[in-house]
Amino acid sequence: MQKLSVAIVHPNLGIGGAERLVVDTALSLQQRGHRVVIYTMHHDPAHCFEETRDGTLDVRVVRSWLIPESVNGRLHILCTVLRSLGMARRVATDREQYDVVFVDQLSAPIPLLKYAHAHILFYCHFPDYLQAPHTTLWQRLYRAPFDLLEELTTGEADQIVVNSKFTQSTFRNAFPRLSVVPRVLPPAINLAAYDTTPPADDPAVAMLRMPRQSVLSINRFERKKNIVLAIDALALLQNRSDLCLVVAGGWDVRVPENIEYLHELDAHARSLGLSTRTVAPRSASSQALKLLPSNYVRVPAFADDVKTTDSVDVLFVPSFSESQRAHLLATARCVVYTPINEHLGIVPLEAMGMRVPVVAADSGGPCETVVHGKTGYLCQPRAEDFSSAISRIISMSEDQRSEMGRAGRERVETEFALDAYATKLEGIISDMIQYPTTVSAIFGVLMTLFIICTSAVIFLCARYL
């Protein structure tokens, strides 16, 4: 395939499954000789993947000084869309000419990005409007223009791909006006990034060493991730005195839900009689520390100064580092994945890639990744079922657990390895660039409609909020 210049556009380059996809996409294309640049509206070197801060990848942050991330904690989607248009303008007017623009998560900037005269590939993790609340009349009125904008701008892409067959079927039902059937391109696991041994003298890793066996949950601290299910399952285990549930995941001081949900989970665990502790992010500011549960502990300067965690039932690790992730996956007896109807879920793939059995909800994407009884167990999202599956894995002999781990690793190597992902992606791009791309006249109509609706929303907010 000819060598291409590729721009990847992603709203917030933090730590999460979507961000891991962006990083691995850039790495896979770069390794095959393509020129890759990542554009984003936010990138915090203290809260990101290593490849985005160590010079491996070219990351360009496009900040909007005029448009805030929210207005008094509200209007997040409005501000995000407006800021994304500024980022799209930067890409479209950049001196570098791109052959392909890989747009991730947010479709709003696609019509403007077409002025870069590049082919647009849109990666849809899940329709955004299905994840937003539409309960009250105000919510429905507020979301209406954005829901329409999402559908129309998504249809402007030259090629649409989704992460799973589950998302593919959901996409077709969610966007009935679009006749296109998106292609399925599951995310990949860069196994080389996981097959590393964290430094023995890293105090952030030493904080996680414990005599107990660990059951690991990795998710952003969001309510839709249903992490409470993992805590309830642990509380039901009869012989849990030798177990510690480690709840690790993305935690951002700029996201109120992250802060609130961590406190809710800590309080819920303690209400069940479970002891808890929170390991503060190593780079946490004094202001960020005030937002953590009061029982937090800081990472000391030296590993020898680390306090023991052997009496803890639940250990929270918000905004964990990559070395901490590597240690947690390497030492976990099993990984529990609690979201219901998750689009795909990168965590089960990470666990299987590290030869760790998985317990996941029997719905959505995990049904396409976890092989029940072979690489882990798929359960109904009930505490009793999860507790039973965890108990089954914990009570396995070392040979039985190793065999399940080997099966998981083989599945990832065969179906979800980075090289296989790169080959599929290059094939999709090759098919796409055979046809000319055009700048659609619908752009002006869409933007006019959006500006009118935006003005109406701002007026209503100013009048009634």
Distance CA 304, CA 143 (A): 52
Q: So what's the pLDDT on residue 210? A: 85
Spans of the chain below 50 pLDDT: none
Residue 123's closest CA among 8, 16, 2? 8
Q: So what's the pLDDT on residue 17? A: 81
Residue 122 half-sphere exposure, CB side, CA atoms within 13 Å?
A: 27
Q: So what's the pLDDT on residue 440? A: 63
Q: So what's the pLDDT on residue 119? A: 95
Residue 88, token pair as written in the block = 């799209």
Q: So what's the pLDDT on residue 198? A: 81
Q: Phi and psi (nearest 5°) for 231?
A: -65, -45
Q: So what's the pLDDT on residue 447? A: 61
Q: So what's the pLDDT on residue 316? A: 97
For 464, the enclosing helix (H) or strand (E) is helix 442-464
Tens digit of each residue's pLDDT (9 = 90 or more) over 352-370: 999 999 999 999 999 999 9
Q: So what's the pLDDT on residue 1? A: 78
Q: So what's the pLDDT on residue 14? A: 84
Model pTM score:
0.85
Q: So what's the pLDDT on residue 390? A: 96
Give the DSSP letter string of 315-367: EEEET--HHHHHHHHHHEEEEEE--SS-S--HHHHHHHHTT--EEEESSSTHH
Q: So what's the pLDDT on residue 450? A: 65
> 463 by DSSP, 3-state: which?
helix
**Rg, C-alpha atoms of the chain:** 22
Q: So what's the pLDDT on residue 459? A: 54
